[in-house]
């Protein structure tokens, strides 16, 4: 068992037969009474996002996860297929379960796949990924008095705000935690 005061972003736990991953954590202490812990969680089996509220002192079931290094292979519109780099097994995850992380996946990308009792649940992306810009609006000449940004679309369909000098065909590095532009590669 794990105390709800120990829940932080990224912690995985089991509650009422479902496995949840904490996305956001908020500890609220009113002037009187017990503290409350509010968490935004994602059900790792269905991909559903929920808000949960606990009283200070409550406990949830801690679970043991295993991790394997895998390469992203392809998707068929519904399922995303990976290949274990050691055993060559090919586990698959539903797109709804992966959520927004699918926009960062590129062919042959190495990620860490999370398992619970040999059931694939989630992936951990690298901190930053490089993607090619496929669509960029033209820059306006003389529009450099302030740090001006524009929206571009990458090869995976991800829309990112970048500085004006980035053009179609450039490769950019994106932070997977925030979805923001880091640098041009």
Which residue bears the tokens 């009792």? 117
The mean predicted confidence, pLDDT, of the chain is 89
Whether 145 has a pLDDT exceeding 70, the answer reads no
Q: Output the pLDDT for position 144.
A: 59
pLDDT at residue 142, as a whole number: 63
Q: What is the mean pLDDT of residues 83-88?
A: 92
What is the pLDDT, as a whole number, of residue 61? 92
- Per-residue pLDDT tens for 31-79? 888 889 999 999 988 888 999 999 988 999 999 999 999 999 999 988 9
% of the chain at pLDDT higher than 70: 96
Contacts 24+ apart (CB under 8 A), 94-102: 94/47, 96/46, 96/47, 97/44, 97/45, 97/46, 97/47, 97/121, 97/122, 98/47, 98/122, 98/123, 99/42, 99/47, 100/179, 101/125, 101/176, 102/75, 102/156
Q: Which token pair is 122? A: 């989630």
More confident residue, 142 or 182: 182
Full set of structural domains in the chain with CATH: 2-62 (2.30.30.30), 66-124 (2.40.50.140), 128-184 (2.40.50.140)
pLDDT digit string, tens, across residues 104-131? 998 899 999 999 988 898 899 999 999 9
φ/ψ (deg, to 5) at 161: -90, 125
């Amino acid at each position: 068992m794990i105390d709800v005061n120990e829940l932080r972003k990224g912690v995985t736990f089991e509650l009422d037969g479902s496995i949840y991953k904490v996305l956001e954590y908020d500890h609220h202490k009113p002037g009187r009474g017990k503290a409350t812990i509010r968490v935004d969680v994602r059900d790792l089996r269905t991909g559903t996002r929920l808000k949960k509220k606990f009283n200070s002192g409550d406990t949830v079931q801690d679970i043991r996860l295993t991790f394997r290094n895998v390469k992203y292979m392809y998707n068929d519109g519904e399922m995303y297929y990976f290949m274990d780099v050691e055993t060559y097994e090919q586990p698959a995850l539903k797109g709804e379960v992966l959520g927004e992380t699918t926009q960062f996946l590129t062919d042959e990308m190495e990620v860490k796949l999370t398992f619970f009792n040999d059931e694939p649940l989630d992936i951990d992306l690298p901190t930053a990924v490089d993607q090619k810009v496929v669509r960029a609006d033209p820059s306006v000449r003389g529009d450099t008095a302030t740090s001006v940004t524009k929206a571009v679309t990458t090869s995976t369909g991800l829309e990112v705000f970048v500085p004006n000098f980035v053009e179609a065909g450039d490769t950019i590095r994106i932070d997977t935690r925030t979805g923001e532009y880091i640098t041009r590669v």
